[in-house]
Amino acid sequence: MGLGVVCVVWAVVAALLIAADLSKRGTSVNFVWLRLMILKYLHEYSKVTREETGRVGPLFYHYVVPLNVALVIVVVLAIAQWS
């Protein structure tokens, strides 16, 4: 359970860093609605970094990977409780 919380905190920090990076690059970012707009910002970050370097920026993976790990943990815990 603790690992799931760490993963979620990791993803939240990555989302804030993505928004800050986009803001530095001149993209308008609304931090109040960040929770609802993160998928749009994630796509924009991916597009911008791919255009600059030819690869997706590292913050993209710092957002996606921990959320997937947290999802797997929740599914495993749910299956364990049903057993």
- Nearest-CA neighbor of 3 among 82, 71, 61? 71
pLDDT in the model for residue 83: 76
Q: How many CB atoms neighbour CB 7 within 10 A? A: 20
Please give the pLDDT value at position 4.
Answer: 83
Polymer length in residues for the chain = 83
pLDDT score of 31: 85
Residue corresponding to tokens 């943990």: 73
Integer CA distances (angstroms), 17 to 23, 72, 78, in order: 10, 24, 31
Model confidence, pTM = 0.86
Domain locations along the chain: 2-82
The one-letter amino acid at 49: T
- Whether the per-residue pLDDT at 8 is higher than 80: the answer is yes
pLDDT digits (tens, 9 = 90+) for 12-71: 999 999 999 999 999 898 888 988 999 999 999 999 999 999 999 999 999 999 999 999
Q: With bands split at pLDDT 50, 70 and 90, how would you rate the model's confidence at 1?
A: confident
